């Protein structure tokens, strides 16, 4: 596939994201479906991710370069302009290729007229780059590559750390592995990586975690196909440590992972403990990914496609029906993991399209859903059981404030989140990790115990 064709594909894939009608969630599959050659797929992906990561600034620059905004039907040309700017600013593509091939890609979209527009804009940017960048960077959201609503939220939530948080969000996150301790010890696997020429170090906080110096294809990882190792961020691996007091020495403990896809946390729990685990997700397609994950690792769990916020959850799970003001049935779970749907503000660097697809109004809606999930799942927990609430968010409304409100309305709930931890910081009744540049993702945990009568 030529450079022009690769840019055509990238522009097409960006159009729904720019227009707020899609995301990059299935980018790899979509790139493959477009017939992109294997050697060009990384380039297309880098273009799409890069444009989304720098979108606030690229959009501001494009507005300076265009005499008038492009019509919505020409969002593909807008995408090409953003792609061209991103190449000139952030990629090692020769400038002449970034300009000529990006402009020429308009022909591949059936819009020959736009070739001259793109060529003129990109060449002007080359001539006036310093002045144009200085002009748009007077606006903090543009300079820091964050939408205004999110920048405001981060400044309010983390007045001492918001700038570092923005910087971390704007970098690509490291590739982190989790060794399957049922098959291999971490130190032994580090030696295998070294022998394969893959530079890596042990994670600071996660006992099974390894951080690579640079990303590699998973099929280059020794023993990946056999289940020796998985890709999982260090923050997500801390889930197993927090649930350990409730699960260690309790073979056959009944555990419910309520929002399990793609299955990393379920798999880690099964690697660490001998459990009777049910993994569920509202989306059957995403639940299938959980099954594939467990199959590769040689692990077993009960899979159930269901809505964990549904009033019929107890009956679906085979529990006796109950009302909100009655005690949980004796058949309740010993532990529940609620990795709740959230804003994803702790993993923006891995999902940079969040900068385009999220709105300030989403936070209240997500918080309401999280509250429903907490209340509903609490009724499925056995007395004395543990519920671990987790999000990949750094916003208090989804985290510390959410748990404070839950405890206030739930008399039989008690927070047991440890205070003496080497990672994160105390956030209300939970623990908050902020996205670390070159390190772990942003994550929140709160551990809750159901007080027995």
Q: Give catalytic residues, as residue numbers.
A: 392
Is residue 203 within 8 A of residue 236, CB to CB? The reply is: no
Report the C-alpha gap between 264 and 267 in whole angstroms.
5
233: closest CA among 426, 396, 433, 420?
433
Query: Token pair for residue 267?
Result: 């798999």
* Length of the chain counted residue by residue: 453
DSSP secondary-structure letter at 230? E
Distance of CA 29 to the CA centre of its chain: 17
CA distances from 44 to 4, 31, 134, 429 (A): 11, 8, 29, 43
277: closest CA among 292, 258, 261?
258
Query: Token pair for residue 372?
Result: 């429903």
CA distances from 433 to 1, 127, 155, 208, 351 (A): 42, 43, 16, 18, 18
Report the C-alpha gap between 308 and 445 in whole angstroms.
19
Strand order across the 229-231 sheet: 200-202, 209-212, 176-179, 229-231
CA distances from 423 to 234, 314, 418 (A): 11, 35, 11
Is residue 186 within 8 A of residue 207, CB to CB? The reply is: yes
Is residue 451 within 8 A of residue 327, CB to CB? The reply is: no
Q: How many helices (H) and strands (E) does the chain have?
A: 18, 13
DSSP secondary-structure letter at 339? E
DSSP secondary-structure letter at 83? H
75: closest CA among 29, 128, 124, 13?
13
Pairing of strands 209-212, 176-179: antiparallel
DSSP secondary-structure letter at 347? S
Is residue 317 within 8 A of residue 328, CB to CB? The reply is: no
Q: Work out the number of other CB atoms within 10 angstroms of the CB of residue 40.
A: 17
Q: Rounded to the nearest 5°, which phi and psi values hold at 410?
A: -125, 95
């Amino acid at each position: 596939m030529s450079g022009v064709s690769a840019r055509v594909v990238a522009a097409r894939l960006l159009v729904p994201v720019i227009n707020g009608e899609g995301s990059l969630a299935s980018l790899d599959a979509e790139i493959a479906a477009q017939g992109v050659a294997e050697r060009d797929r990384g380039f297309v992906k880098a273009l799409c991710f890069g444009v989304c990561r720098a979108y606030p600034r690229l959009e501001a620059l494009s507005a300076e370069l265009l005499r008038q905004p492009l019509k919505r039907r020409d969002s593909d040309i807008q995408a090409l302009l953003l792609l061209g700017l991103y190449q000139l600013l952030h990629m090692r593509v020769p400038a002449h290729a970034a300009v000529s091939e990006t402009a020429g890609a308009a022909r591949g979209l059936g819009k020959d007229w736009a070739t001259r527009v793109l060529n003129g804009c990109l060449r002007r940017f080359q001539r006036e780059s310093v002045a144009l960048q200085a002009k748009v960077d007077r606006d903090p959201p543009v300079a820091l590559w964050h939408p205004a609503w999110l920048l405001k939220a981060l400044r309010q939530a983390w007045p001492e750390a918001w700038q570092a948080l923005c910087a971390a969000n704007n970098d690509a996150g490291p590739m982190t592995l989790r060794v399957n301790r049922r098959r291999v010890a971490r130190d032994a696997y580090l030696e295998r990586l070294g022998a394969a020429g893959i530079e890596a170090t042990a994670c600071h906080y996660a006992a099974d975690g390894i951080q690579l110096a640079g990303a590699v294809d998973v099929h280059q990882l020794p023993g990946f196909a056999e289940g020796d190792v998985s890709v999982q961020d260090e923050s997500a691996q801390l889930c197993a440590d927090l649930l350990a007091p409730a699960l260690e020495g309790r073979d056959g403990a009944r555990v419910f992972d309520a929002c399990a896809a793609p299955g990393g946390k379920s798999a880690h729990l099964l690697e660490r403990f001998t459990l009777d685990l049910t993994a569920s997700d509202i989306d059957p397609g995403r639940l299938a990914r959980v099954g594939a994950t467990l199959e590769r690792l040689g692990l077993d769990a009960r899979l159930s496609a269901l809505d964990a916020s549904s009033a019929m959850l107890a009956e679906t799970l085979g529990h006796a029906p109950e009302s909100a003001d009655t005690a949980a049935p004796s058949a309740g779970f010993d532990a529940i993991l609620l990795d709740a749907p959230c804003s994803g503000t702790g993993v923006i660097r891995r999902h940079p399209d969040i900068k385009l697809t999220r709105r300030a109004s989403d936070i209240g809606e997500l918080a309401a859903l999280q509250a429903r999930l907490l209340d509903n799942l609490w009724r499925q927990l056995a007395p004395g059981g543990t519920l671990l609430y987790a999000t990949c968010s750094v916003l208090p409304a989804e985290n510390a404030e959410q748990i404070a409100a839950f405890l206030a309305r739930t008399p039989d709930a008690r927070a047991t989140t440890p205070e003496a931890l080497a990672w994160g910081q105390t956030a209300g009744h939970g623990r908050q990790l902020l996205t670390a540049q070159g390190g772990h993702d942003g994550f929140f945990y709160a551990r809750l115990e159901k007080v027995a009568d």
